[in-house]
């Protein structure tokens, strides 16, 4: 196969940031993706419906003329979140999900949830109205090894939340372990799971072997090879519960290359070429459209995009950096030449 036409993809987990950074990175997502679930971890976070509406307006104002892109807004869940505000934001169509960050789990998550009992009224309301909860699934306990934090979260936090609020629709975001794949597969259709581009490509050796590689450091951190293989099998399986959430998370090189550097891989510019290659390697190109364009809308109850994307087997032009007024941002390097272009 040398050309492939699929329904235009969506990105079910994206960091667009704000200001100069957003201006520079937004066109890279909007070129390939029709819609994206926009993460609310700005400083300060997007907590209220009014903040989400203002953020959506800033995104639309930054969108270059002629580009077709719809941001699907989210609210950042805090212990003070007002269930009525969440329900109104859902009813108006503004907000498509609520995001749960355990307090301190990742970039800009200080306002996240520490006491899960405090958010129970909001979760119950979300279950009643069918509004999904997007979950950053890592515990933050200092006594839990960073490579175990996702697996421990499933047992200690995720499963109890789902049992306490039956019917709550949950997206396990950016899963990185065989444990998460196995858990997701054992659940009913109220559970979906997103997988990033980079977790299909790198394992923890890419970050740590032969010198430390800050551009491969993201959260949840990439795990052992056996977990990467489980993720590749899940993503390319054709199973409807798995769909693309790139977690493209731009940080300037100055902020990545520090003694305490930021977590995040910037994959918006080359996600589709990388995915086409991964699916081809797994002999699963026929399942690419499900993963990037069909399974996500099905979970969120949205229509599949009617426009299409054509991929052609010809090496793509991918910049190594994107320039921003805050400084350059390095594009994720899969470590091998890419074979497929978006045409
Ligand atoms: C994200 C970011 O930079 O906002 N970083 C990351 O490594 N993925 C936060 C997140 O999604 O955990
Ligand atoms: Zn993220």
| The model's pTM | 0.97
- Does the beta carbon of 100 sit less than 6 angstroms from any atom of ligand 1? no
Residues designated as active site: 247
Cα gap 220→230, rounded to integer Å: 16
Report which DSSP code applies to 335: S
Dihedral (CA of 72, 77, 80, 82) sign = positive
Tell me what pLDDT residue 53 has: 98
Tell me what pLDDT residue 111 has: 86
Task: Give the ligand with the smallest distance to the CA of 264.
Answer: 1
| Å from CA of 263 to ligand 1 middle | 6
Tell me what pLDDT residue 107 has: 77
Q: Is 186 helix (H, G, I), strand (E, B) or coil?
A: coil
Burial 20-57 (b: 16+ CB within 10 A, else e): ebbbbbbbbbbbbbbbbbbbbbbeebbbbbebbeebbe
Tell me what pLDDT residue 302 has: 98
**What number does the ligand 1 atom closest to the CA of 13 have?**
11
Q: Is the pLDDT of residue 1 over 90?
A: no
Tell me what pLDDT residue 225 has: 98
**What is the tens place of the pLDDT at every residue in 37-48?**
999 999 999 999
Average pLDDT, the chain: 97
| Å from CA of 219 to ligand 2 middle | 8
| Å from CA of 220 to ligand 2 middle | 9
Report which DSSP code applies to 304: P
**What number does the ligand 1 atom closest to the CA of 108 have?**
4
**What number does the ligand 1 atom closest to the CA of 173 have?**
11
**What is the tens place of the pLDDT at every residue in 139-193?**
999 999 999 999 999 999 999 999 999 999 999 999 999 999 999 999 999 999 9
pLDDT band for 276, please (50, 70, 90 cuts). Answer: very high
**What is the tens place of the pLDDT at every residue in 21-38?**
999 999 999 999 999 999
Dihedral (CA of 72, 181, 138, 276) sign = negative
Tell me what pLDDT residue 136 has: 97
Tell me what pLDDT residue 106 has: 79
Cα gap 162→305, rounded to integer Å: 30
Tell me what pLDDT residue 175 has: 98
| Å from CA of 25 to ligand 1 middle | 15
Best probe residue, ligand 1, of 219, 223, 248, 260 (max atoms within 8 Å of C-beta): 219
Tell me what pLDDT residue 105 has: 78
Burial 305-330 (b: 16+ CB within 10 A, else e): beeebebeeeebeeeeebebebeebb
**What is the tens place of the pLDDT at every residue in 76-134?**
999 999 999 999 999 999 999 999 999 887 777 888 999 989 999 999 999 999 999 99
Tell me what pLDDT residue 232 has: 99
- Does the beta carbon of 219 sit less than 6 angstroms from any atom of ligand 1? yes
Task: List domains and CATH numbers for the chain.
Answer: 3-342 (3.20.20.140)
Q: Is 31 helix (H, G, I), strand (E, B) or coil?
A: helix
- Does the beta carbon of 247 sit less than 6 angstroms from any atom of ligand 1? yes
Q: Is the pLDDT of residue 270 over 90?
A: yes
């Amino acid at each position: 196969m040398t050309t492939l036409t699929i329904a235009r993809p969506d990105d079910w987990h994206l960091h667009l940031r704000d200001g100069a950074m957003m201006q520079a990175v937004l066109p890279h997502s909007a070129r390939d993706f029709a819609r994206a679930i926009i993460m609310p971890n700005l400083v300060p976070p997007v907590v209220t419906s009014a903040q989400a509406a203002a953020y959506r307006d800033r995104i639309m104002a930054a969108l270059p003329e002629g580009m077709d892109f719809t941001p699907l807004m989210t609210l950042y869940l805090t212990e003070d979140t007002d269930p009525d505000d969440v329900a109104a934001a859902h009813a108006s169509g503004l907000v498509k999900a609520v995001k749960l960050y355990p307090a301190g789990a990742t970039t800009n998550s200080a306002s996240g949830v520490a006491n899960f009992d405090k958010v129970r009224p909001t979760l119950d309301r979300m279950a009643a109205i069918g509004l999904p909860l997007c979950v950053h699934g890592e515990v933050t306990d200092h006594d839990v090894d960073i490579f175990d934090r996702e697996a421990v979260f499933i047992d200690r936090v995720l499963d109890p939340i789902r049992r306490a609020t039956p019917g709550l629709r949950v997206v396990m975001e950016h899963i990185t372990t065989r444990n998460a794949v196995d858990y997701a597969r054992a659940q009913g259709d109220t559970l979906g799971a997103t997988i990033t581009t980079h977790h299909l490509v790198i394992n923890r050796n890419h970050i740590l072997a032969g010198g430390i590689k800050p551009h491969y450091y993201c959260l949840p951190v990439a795990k052992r090879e056996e977990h990467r293989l489980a993720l590749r099998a899940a993503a390319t399986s054709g199973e409807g519960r798995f769909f693309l959430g790139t977690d493209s998370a731009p940080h300037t090189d100055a902020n990545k290359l520090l003694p305490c550097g930021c977590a995040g891989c910037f994959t918006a510019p080359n996600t589709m070429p990388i995915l086409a290659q991964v699916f081809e390697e797994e002999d699963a190109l026929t399942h690419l459209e499900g993963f990037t364009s069909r399974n996500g809308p099905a979970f969120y109850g949205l229509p599949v995009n009617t426009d299409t994307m054509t991929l052609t087997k010809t090496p793509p032009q991918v910049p190594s950096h994107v320039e921003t007024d805050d400084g350059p941002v390095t594009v994720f390097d899969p470590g091998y030449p890419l074979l497929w272009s978006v045409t």
